[in-house]
Amino acid sequence: MPRDNSREVIEAHKESVGQTLLRVSRSVLGYYGRGVSPSGNVGTLVFLNEDPAPLYGKEFGLFFSQRYECLQNSAGDQLWEINVRGYVYKVCQRRDREWCEVLSYHFHPELQVRFPHLHLKNGEPLVTNAHLPTGRVSIESVVDSLILDFGIKSDRDPK
């Protein structure tokens, strides 16, 4: 019988996301999970305190929320792996002491609009009202973009 590595996989995912977000923010990340067994247990990761969480440099902020589940691989080793079921990653900019949304990546198939998409908040109404399809976007790539394109600097960034 394959070893049950479900708890380790869940802990590793939480830690991996936490380490990723540390590259751009010191805000505390929280985890909320329901149920005991890994199968059917959907976990939620979200910043605990600030909304949005300020990023290094204070000009930009990030609302981050991700729901994921731990599933057993149906082929071969049957070990457990993470499946991200949805996310909201919203980038805001500080303007006149207010947080203004710049863009947000959404994936919420359990709610309306079932495909992963991007919202842009600057531009023509045709664009700012659109749900621009993206394919699933990882928080790792969003963080990479924040560092590359938004100038977020961190002394923790190993790259």
Answer for which of 69, 86, 142, 143 binds other proteins (CB under 8 A) is 86
Query: Residue 38: is the preceding peptide bond cis (ω within 30°)?
Result: no
Distance of closest approach, residue 106 Cβ to other proteins, in angstroms: 6
Question: Hey, what are 130's tokens?
Answer: 């659109």
81-101 exposure pattern, b = at least 16 Cβ within 10 A, e = fewer: ebebbbbebbbbbbeeeebeb
How far apart are CB 58 and other proteins at their closest, in Å? 18
The yes or no reply on residue 74 touching other proteins (CB under 8 A) is no
**Which DSSP letter does residue 48 get?**
S
- Which residues here bind other proteins, judged by CB under 8 A? 5, 8-9, 11-19, 22, 28-34, 42, 44-46, 48, 51, 63, 65, 67, 81-84, 86, 88, 90, 101, 106, 108, 110-113, 119, 129, 131, 138
